[in-house]
Amino acid sequence: MHRVGISTEHVIDLVKYISTLSNIEIEGLFTHFACADDTKNPYTLLQLKRFIKLKETLKKNNFKFKIYHCANSAATLNFSQTHMDMIRIGIAMYGLRSSEKTFSLQVKPALSLKAKISYLKEVEKGEGISYGLTFKTNKKSLIATIPIGYRDGYPRQLSNKGVVLVKGKRVPVVGNVTMDQIMIDVTDIDEVKIGDEVVIIGNQ
C-alpha cells in the first residue's frame, strides 16, 4: 500500500540494525493487504507470497519472531491462509463491512451518532439555504436545523449530499455544512417537531 512501513528489500538490513540495540526487542512482523475485500483480485495472494518469502529469508538469517500477522477484516473472512499467528480485524470490530459484495459475515454497527432537531422553519419556494445559498428550495419546504457541524467531525463534503434519518425515513442534508449546524429538508415527514431524534450514523 505504501502507506507506512518499509519495502521488503530493506527489512533484513533494518532488522540487523535493530538487533544491535540493547533496549529494543523485535516481537513481530506484519503487513497489510490492499485488496482483500476483492476476492478476485490476485494482489492479496501476491502480497502473502512476498510476506512468506520474507519470513523464510529472515529465518535463514537466524531471525525468528514470536508473531507474524497480516489478516485484516476482509482477509480474515476471505483468505483463511492469511491467518498465521493472529488476525487483526479493524472495521468489522465496529460492526461495519469493508465490502457489501464480499463481506458475507452478518455484523451490526457497534456505534451510532444522534442529535435532536433544534429549530424548524417553513421556507418559501426559491429561497437559498446556508452559506453560499448552494441549495434552493423548489417548493415551499420545512427545513430543520440540527446542532452538529464540521467542528464535531461531520464532513463539509456532505454539503447537499448527506442523508440522515428522521422517524425512520431518509431525509437530505440541504445547503452547506456549517461549523456547528446542518440543515435538513423534512417537508415529507409527518408531524415532525423540535426535539425529534435525528440519526446521523446508525439505525432508527
Q: Is residue 133 part of a domain?
A: yes
Same domain, 49 and 81: yes
Same domain, 60 and 127: no
Same domain, 123 and 86: no
* Amino acid 172: pLDDT: 99
Q: Is residue 39 part of a domain?
A: yes
CATH number for the domain spanning 140: value is 2.40.37.10
Q: Is residue 42 part of a domain?
A: yes
Quote the number of domains for the chain.
Answer: 2
Higher-confidence residue: 104 or 143? 143
CATH number for the domain spanning 32: value is 3.20.20.10
Same domain, 125 and 65: no
Half-sphere exposure of 169 (CA within 13 A, CB side): 13
pLDDT at residue 108 tops 90: no
Average pLDDT along the chain: 95
The rounded distance, in Å, linking the Cα atoms of 174 and 159 is: 7
Name which of 107-111, 122-126, 142-146 the model is least confident about.
Answer: 107-111
* Amino acid 147: pLDDT: 99
Domain that holds residue 185: 113-201
* Amino acid 102: pLDDT: 74
* Amino acid 184: pLDDT: 99
Q: Is residue 148 part of a domain?
A: yes
Place of cell 440541504: 174
* Amino acid 180: pLDDT: 98
pLDDT over 90, % of the chain: 89
